[in-house]
Structure 1
Amino acid sequence: PWTGSRRKPSRRPLQSLPQRRLRNLQQRLLRQRRRQRCRQRRLVKRLRKCLQQLLLPRRRPQTLLSQRPWRLPQGRPTRAMALG
């Protein structure tokens, strides 16, 4: 029986230090990439939501002419308007 703080020997053979270091590095890179992708996806989601919010008001049915002053300038009609 294993007693005390001595660790049970791992089943896989002990890797040489450079190999282990390489493996650690690779794992870290993988983790970083995964996290980055996740973050990117989150950002994209947020951006899309923002854009949707911007686009929403334009889907309203046509507003009345009185609410669109640029269509109907107040005052007497100009010659261009008279000509059509």
Structure 2
Amino acid sequence: MKNEGTKSAVLMSEKLHIENKTLFIDLRENEGGQFIQIAELSNDRRSTVVIPFTGSAQFLEALGRVAGAGLAGA
């Protein structure tokens, strides 16, 4: 996972525009390994979530369940 002050290389990046938000989904790598970084830009604010690549499958499964529950309730 990302260490403070450690430079990371971007291996792949996707950019999404959803409503008034811009999301950047990056696959990054540093000396600690690979990780996914999700950054949200909205109204001049930036929020970031970092997920170790080893947890990416669990994260995607959980995201699928949450998204499915949202669609079922709509």
Q: Same fold (TM over 0.5)?
A: no
The structure richer in helix per residue is: 1
> What band does the TM-score fall into relative to the shorter chain?
0.3 to 0.5
TM-score, with length taken from structure 2:
0.32
TM-score, with length taken from structure 1:
0.29
